Amino acid sequence: MSLTYANMPLDRCSNQRKNKRWLALEFNHQETLFCVINDGMSLFSHDNTFTPIYLTKLQLDSLSIDSCIYMGKGSLDKAPGSAESTNVSSLFTVDFEKLRFSTQEQLLILGQWQNLREATPHLTLIDASIQALGKALVYWHSTHLYCGKCGNASRSVNSGHARRCTECRNMSFPRTDPAVIMLVEHMFPDGIARCLLGRQASWKAGIYSTLAGFVDPGETLEEAVIREVSEETAVIVENPQYITSQPWPFPASVMLGFTAVATSTHIDISKDDIDDCQWFSREQLAGLYAGTQSPTKTDNAIDTNIKKHEYRIGSGYSISSYLITAWKNKEIGQY
Ligand SMILES: [Zn+2]
C-alpha cells in the first residue's frame, strides 16, 4: 500500500543543485515549473476538481532565483522510475509572499487557494507528495528568518536548502520533527486480541486513532514509543517494531509507524490531555468507518446520524488509518 505524501516522483538532485550554473540553467529552462505556496495553501483550478496549478517562469513576472527553492526533477504525471515517463522537468517552489503584487493578483485569476489537508483526498498520490514537499520547504523558510545563534537576519542559500546568517555566517538546514505513532496490541484472557486507540477532545465526535507523540532529544524511537504510551494511558508496552513512515507537513513532521505489545491493560488518562482511550477488537474495528473522502464531507455525512458510542477512524490517508487497517487485516502485529 502506498501512503499519501510518500510517492515523490522527483529526483531531488541533491548534488547538482549545489552548482549555481546548473541551477540557473534549470531555473531559466522553458520546461521548468513552479509550485506556489500561500500561507500553507496550494493553488488549484477554479473548477473544484482539485487540479494543482504548476506555473511557468513566464507566468511569474520578475521572479528571482534567490527567492525560489529547488524541489527536484521528474515527471509530474508518471510513477517514479516509469519507463513511460515523459515531460521530465525541474520543479521549484516559491512563497506567494515573495511574488510581486501584480503577479499575486494574476494567480487569483488563474486558480484558488486550498488547504492541503482538505484537498488531499482529491489529489493523485504524486501531486499530494509534491504539494507536501513544497509546503514543508516554504514553511521552514518562513519560520527561520533569523539566525538561531545570534538573532540577526538569515538568507536563503544552496538552492533554498539552507539559510546562512548575514552576520555570524551560521548555517541552518530544513528540519523535520520525528514523531512516533503506534498500534498497541494485547491478547486478552478471553482469547481476543485488541488494540489501543485514543481520541483528543478537539476531534469530531466518535473519532479514534492510534496514539502518537514527538521524539524527545536523546531518545531512541523505541524509547519514545514506550514513553508516549505510558504517559498518555499508563499502559506498559514492549517490543516496538518499526512498520513504515509518512511525511506529515502539518507543519513539519515525519510520522514513524510502529507496533508494540502491551504487558498491562489498565488505562489511566488522568495524567495526559487525551479525551478517551479504549481497547478495540478486530470485530469492533470492522464496524468503524475509515474515511476515504474529504474529511469535511465525511464528517457532515456522519454528523447527521451520529449515535452515542459510534466510533470512527480518522483520515483515511493518514498512517494511523493504515496501521489500524493493516492490524485489523492481520498484516502487521504479533496477534
Ligand atoms: Zn548569526
Query: How confident is the model at residue 289, as a pLDDT?
Result: 54
Q: From the CA of 156, how far away is ligand 1's center (Å)?
A: 13
The domains of the chain are located at 16-137, 144-175, 177-328
Distance in Å, CA 39 to ligand 1 centroid: 26
Q: For residue 306, what pLDDT band results from cuts at 50, 70 and 90?
A: very low
Query: H or E segment at 331?
Result: none
Q: Is it the case that residue 78 has pLDDT exceeding 90?
A: no
pLDDT digits (tens, 9 = 90+) for 4-49: 999 999 999 999 999 999 999 999 999 999 999 999 999 999 998 9
Tens digit of each residue's pLDDT (9 = 90 or more) over 166-209: 999 999 999 999 999 999 999 999 999 999 999 998 888 888 99
Q: How many percent of the chain have pLDDT more than 70?
A: 90
As a whole number, mean pLDDT of residues 44-65 equals: 94
Whole-number pLDDT of residue 84 = 57
Q: What is the DSSP string of 109-169?
A: HH-EEEEHHHHGGGS-HHHHHHHHHHHHHHHHHHT--B-TTT--BEEEEGGGTEEEETTT-
- ∠ CA 327-180-200, nearest 5°, is 80
- How much distance in Å is there from the Cα of 140 to the middle of ligand 1? 17
Task: Give the pLDDT score at 138.
Answer: 98
**Ligand 1 centroid – CA 163 distance (Å):** 10
Say how many Å lie between the CA of residue 164 and the centre of ligand 1: 8
* pLDDT score, position 83: 55
Q: How confident is the model at residue 296 (pLDDT cuts 50, 70, 90)?
A: very low
Q: How remote is the CA of residue 176 from the centroid of ligand 1, in Å?
A: 21
252 CA → ligand 1 middle, Å:
23
Q: What is the pLDDT of residue 223?
A: 98
φ, ψ of residue 289 to 5 degrees: the values are: -95, 120
- 130-150 residue pLDDT tens: 999 999 999 999 999 999 999
pLDDT tens sequence across 204-256: 888 899 999 999 999 999 999 999 999 999 999 999 999 999 999 999 999 99
What pLDDT is attached to residue 308? 37
Instruction: Give dist(CA 36, CA 68) in Å, integer.
Output: 10
pLDDT of residue 79: 53
Mean pLDDT of the chain: 90
Q: For residue 4, what is its C-alpha cell?
A: 499519501
**Given a cut of 80, is residue 287 above it in pLDDT?**
no
Model's pTM, two decimal places?
0.88
3-class secondary-structure state, position 94: strand
The percentage of residues in the chain with a pLDDT greater than 90, rounded to a whole number, is: 81
The phi and psi torsions of 94 (rounded to 5 degrees) equal: -145, 145
- Identify the CATH assignment for 177-328 out of 3.90.45.10, 3.90.700.10, 3.30.70.380, 3.90.79.10: 3.90.79.10
Ligand 1 centroid, distance to 306 Cα (angstroms): 54
